[in-house]
Chains A and B, each alone.
Chain A
């Protein structure tokens, strides 16, 4: 860990601290204040983008814990989100629970379903585990599409707005103040889990499972725990997504969303908390930019059909992933760290 001169590590607490120096605290607090006043000067579209980034961040932080730290590849994150979204919608629509009861119930149910699909990880690893989670994706989505009588199904279902002290959160600005704090909490929670015994156990399992087992770790317990936490995060993210859009369609939670989440991890840097944030923000901004640029491209090259325009964003996504995997496999966080190291010594780099 690079630190400015004069910042000495005197005890283990200092060594583990995520934010070491006063300037870092200053930048962090200023950044947070700026983030929380930003709805006053941003337009509705940009606030919505930030909301979506927040929801995606919650989900991807869970995935980062499972894939990045515990090393268990999962291709089913979006279907766990779907479980959370539909569970909270069912709780609110059918059982008439309030939002504050529905979300924890949805999160726990999603966690339990994640546990079920984490069970194969006892015997499987690598490609096999990835495929079994892919099966989870297909099975869960199919079940959601075929349970009309429980309040899910193929059609759009409406979700009531969350209520806080009698105030209904209907506009994106109001949802902003619900989603963004939760996204920050999710990030901090994952960061702190990784600094505990559990986190170190997960990293040991990722690096060498047999060695971890020989050292006396109950690898199965920790792997299931990782699946549970990952699914709980997905459940919360899904419930928030439902409350934000107020209408759920099963097609949204398809397998390409799961793949996108993995792509965000790769772009940001696998196994890094800050990298996850970088990856999510980079990806969502890129996505937004492409949808914004699309009409422009269409007007310049009218020869391109609508099919070509629709495929443009996919082509860009695929090329970005391939490019990152080949040229910067350790992600944006590594690029950022190298940039920092370069600036620290600049202009006399020797």
Chain B
């Protein structure tokens, strides 16, 4: 039961960190016309990999993505009016990560080859998330969905996926190394105080930015 409480607080904290980064660093990258999607997908992936290694709970990363997506509700100025589209993109990343790690072969590969699995997961998370967003964004807006647009876009998505693959390989490698620091082994009172404070701080910063 104690482990459950810790997992919930971890979902809130890491989801909030992810959401805050999307609102601040992601928006900043957008303004510089840098590949914000690939960079943010890689950062998100490293958070998901770290928490999966520490807490060993499937479903946790999807929940983190959901929490992170809620930050987009505070970030209306940056996303051009389609808050659901931006939220969907984040949730899609969490969903694809969870689906990928349902494959036993992928789990074994992930545990033994951090750099390559990071690249593979980064590529899949980014490209899959991009495709899902391209499908669902028209359905959530007044514009129509044209399959010809998606087919024409696939080569571009698959090429851009290499940006995410490269960055993810590095960040996932770092996340593997950082997972030797097991946050969940902190003393209970310290853990609760730390995670709650960081979560509240993330929401506070996102609210005032």
- Whether A and B are associated in the same complex: the answer reads no
A interface residues, Cβ below 8 angstroms from B: none
